[in-house]
Amino acid sequence: MSYSNKVIDHYEKPRNVGALDKSDPQVGTGMVGAPACGDVMKLQIKVGLDGKIEDAKFKTYGCGSAIASSSLVTEWLKGRTLDEAATIKNSEIAEELELPPVKIHCSVLAEDAIKAAIADYKNKH
């Protein structure tokens, strides 16, 4: 399996790895995937008083493309409003990381993780 340089870069230097306090009302947590499927993504967003995402953290169990997809979206999420964040499409992620067809599901999972994190945040408010 050959990976694009962008995947390797995110894999070797993942951005925004870590965890936020999931009980914090400002924090939305999304966890998608399943160990048996080979991918689990946990994505957390912290929404500021201005309604913009001020921080994003992730942890991912999965292949290099899954790690890269989640790392990339944490970069993209910062500074966006929830509505803006919700517009991120898996196709944009796949395009940016030049994912091969067998790895498209990683970008789908990343999009799902964003939506789950937003839904969790909204559920708290």
- Catalytic residues, by residue number, are 37, 106
Among 10, 16, 27, 33, binds another protein (CB under 8 A): 33
CA distance 82 to 46: 10
Among 16, 62, 77, 97, binds another protein (CB under 8 A): 62
- How many chain residues interact with another protein (CB under 8 A)? 36
In the block, residue with structure tokens 């050959």: 2
Per-residue buried b or exposed e for 27-65, using 16+ beta carbons within 10 Å of the residue's own CB: bbbbbbbeeeeebbbbbbbbbeeeeebebbbbbbebbbb
Tell me: does residue 38 bind another protein (CB under 8 A): yes
Query: 43, 30 in Cβ contact below 8 A?
Result: yes
Tell me: does residue 49 bind another protein (CB under 8 A): no
Tell me: does residue 2 bind another protein (CB under 8 A): no
Binding residues for another protein (CB under 8 A): 1, 3, 11, 14, 17, 19, 22, 29-42, 59-64, 66-67, 109, 112, 115-116, 119-120, 123
